[in-house]
Amino acid sequence: MLLAATLLGGALPAAAQADMLDTLQLHGFLSQALVITDRNDFFGPSSSGGGSLKYTEIGANASIRPHQDVLIAAQVLSRRAGGDGSDARPVLDYGVVDYQMVSNQQRTLGLQLGRFKNPFGFHNQTRDVAFTRPSILLPQSIYFDRTRSLGLSGDGVSFYLDERLPTGNLRFQVGAGKIQAGDDLRRTLRLDGIPGSLDPDTSAIAQIRYEHDGGRIIVALSRADANASFDSAMPGLSDGDFYFRPWVLSLQYNEERWSLTAEYARRNSGLENFNNPAFNFDVTGESWYLQYTRRFHDNWQWLVRYDSLVSNRDDRSGTAYEASGAGPAHSQFADDYTLGLQWNLNPQVMLAAEYHHVDGSGWLPIQDNPDPSETSRRWNMLLFQLSLRF
C-alpha cells in the first residue's frame, strides 16, 4: 500500500504531492479490560484470583488520498483475548485501495482491493474499536469472539453502491475472496488435534442496508458463504471441507435519547467429504438479541440486552448432543442477560462496566475452557474497560 501511494505520488507534480500529504490521517486506539467470572473462564483465568487482564486491544490506522477518487487505508491490530497471548502479535486488520468510479450527489459506486472488513450485521466492520461498540462485548450469539477470524475480513475484492433517495440512503456491498481461517476456527471444529492444515477457500459475502429519515430507522440483510478446506496429514483420514452459510437480519430504531436494536441470524455450517463419517456434520443454528440503549446527560449511556444462541435448531436443549457423548448439553446453547454502562469522559477517553448472567456455555472460548465437561451451565461475568483513542 505504501508502494502504491509512492508510485502514485511520484507521478504527480510537487504541488499535487503536497495536497496528497494534506489528506494523510493517522489514528489509534487502546482498550484494556478486567474480566471477572464466578464460574468458567472468559479471556483468561477470569474465575480465579482477582480476574483476568488478558483482554487488550491496540490498533493504529492510516489513510491517504493520492487522487480524489482513490483512497488507500490500512489498520494494524494487536489483540490479546485470553489463551497464551500468542494472538497478540500485530496483524493487518484491513488494508484496501478504494477506487470510486462514480461519485456525485445521487450515488457513489466503488470497489475495494485488498483485505476488506466483511459487511456482516451492524457492528462487524468496526467491532475492534471500543468507541463504536454499544457494550464491552458485542452480542456473542451473532458476533462470535471464539471464532472471530471466520467473519472478520476477506482478502479479495469488494464492490459497493450508495444510492441517496428522497426518503433515505440505500447501500449495497458484495465481496469475494479468501476468509481468515485462524486457529480459533480449527479449535472450535475440534480439528486442532489432527495433523494437517485448515486453509481458506474462495468465499463471498453481501449486504443490503437502508437508512430511513437520517438514520431513524435502519434495516440490513447480510448473507455469507464462507469456505475452507482441511488438508489431512493423518494416515487413513481423507481431506475434508468446511462451510458456513449464515443469514443476518438487522433492525434498529433511533430517537434522540434512546435506541432499540434487534438482530436475528440463521446459520448453516458443517464439515463434509471426510472418509470417516464421525468427522462430518451439518447443523443449522439460530441466534438473536434485543437491546435497548438509553443516552442520558451528554456523555453517559446504559443498555439492557437479552441475547440467545442455539447451536442446533433440531436439538435446542442439547439433550441429543449430550446423549451422543459429544459433550454437555449446556455447551449447545446460551441465554445472556446483560446490563451495561458507558461514560465518555471526553472524546478520547471512555470508561465502561458490564454485567452478564448467562445460562449455557455455547459461546465460551475453547482456548480458555479446553474441557467442556468441566464448565458450568449457569455463570456470571463482570467486566470493566478503559478505552483511549487519538
What is the grid cell recorded at 238? 481423507
Q: Is 236 helix (H, G, I), strand (E, B) or coil?
A: coil
In contact, 196 and 233? CB cutoff 8 Å = yes
| Structural domain for 340, as ranges | 2-389
Whose cell is 467473519? That residue is: 151
pTM: 0.90
Spatial contact of 53 and 29, defined as CB atoms under 8 Å apart:
no
Q: Is the pLDDT of residue 84 over 90?
A: no
Helix (H, G, I), strand (E, B) or coil at 62: strand
User: What's the rounded Cα separation, in Å, for the pair 130 and 59?
Assistant: 11
Query: How far is 197 from 229, CA to CA, in rounded Å?
Result: 8
DSSP state of 104: S
pLDDT band at 108; cut points 50, 70, 90? very high
Q: What is the enclosing helix (H) or strand (E) of 265?
A: strand 258-272
Residue 225: give its domain's CATH number.
2.40.160.10
Is residue 201 within 8 Å of 237, Cβ to Cβ?
Answer: no
274-300 pLDDT tens trace: 998 888 999 999 999 999 999 999 899
Within 10 A of 34 (CB to CB), how many other CB atoms are there?
18
pLDDT cut 90: percent of the chain above it: 74
User: How much is the pLDDT for 190?
Assistant: 82
- Report phi then psi at 274, rounded to 5: -75, 140
Q: What is the mean pLDDT of residues 315-343?
A: 95
Task: Give 16-63 pLDDT, tens digit per residue.
Answer: 566 778 899 999 999 999 999 999 999 999 998 889 999 999 999 999
For residue 264, give the nearest of 282, 251, 283, 245 by alpha carbon.
251
Torsion, CA 5, CA 388, CA 215, CA 206, rounded to 10: 50
Do 310 and 318 touch, CB atoms closer than 8 A? no
What is the share, in percent, of the chain residues with pLDDT greater than 70? 94
CA–CA dist 47, 36 (Å, integer): 6
User: Running DSSP on this structure, what letter comes out for residue 120?
Assistant: -
Q: For the chain, how many structural domains are there in total?
A: 1
Note the pLDDT tens digit of each residue in 340-350: 999 999 999 99
